[in-house]
Amino acid sequence: MRNLDQLDLDILAHLFRDAGMTNKDLAALVGVAPSTCLERVRKLQQDGVLKGAHCEVDHQALGGHIQAMVSLQLARHSRQIIDEFRDAILLLPEVISLFHMGGKDDFLVHLCVADTEHLRNFVFDHFTSREEVVHLETSLVFEHRFSRSLPCFLTT
C-alpha cells in the first residue's frame, strides 16, 4: 500500500462525504485542476485505496420497516464452512451487511425486513435451519446512521 499525501486524503475525505460529486466539483474543493484530480482518483482506485462508490437507500421506501442485528455462533470454524456461510448469507436480499467477528460471536448480520413475521421467518429459514449455527441472538435496530467523516487515523 502506498503512502497517501494530503491531496489524496482531501480527495478521500470529500468522496467519503459525497461519492456522487462530479470530478469538476471535487477538483474545485481540493484546489487542483480537474485533470489532476481525475488522475489522482484513478490512481487511488488502481491502488485499491478507493474501492467503489456507494449510495444510501431509504429501506422504508422499499418496504423494509424493521432492521435487526443478528449475532451468530457456529459449531465449527473451518475456512470452507465460514466462506460458504458468508457467501450464502450475502446473497439474501434482506441482508444489508455482514461482519465476520472474532470473540464470542462468529458473525454479526445487519438485515432489513418488512415486519416481525418476516423477521421471524427469515431467522428460522436462513439461520436456525442451518446445522452449523449453534446460537443466535436478534436485536432490533432503532436507528442506523453512517459517519460522514473520514476516520481520524487517516487524516493525521
pLDDT (tens digit, 9 = 90+) per residue, 138-156? 999 999 988 888 876 654 4
Cα-only R_g, the chain = 20
Mean pLDDT within 9-33: 95
Mean pLDDT within 25-40: 97
**pTM attached to this predicted model:** 0.83
Per residue in 40-90, pLDDT (tens digit) is: 999 999 999 999 888 889 999 999 999 999 999 999 999 999 999 999 999
Largest Cα–Cα distance of the chain, in whole Å?
57
Average pLDDT of the chain to the nearest whole number: 93
Burial profile 17-33: b = 16 or more Cβ within 10 angstroms, e = fewer = eeeeeeeeebbebbebe
pLDDT at 54 (0 to 100): 84
What is the C-alpha separation between 155 and 51, in angstroms, rounded? 18
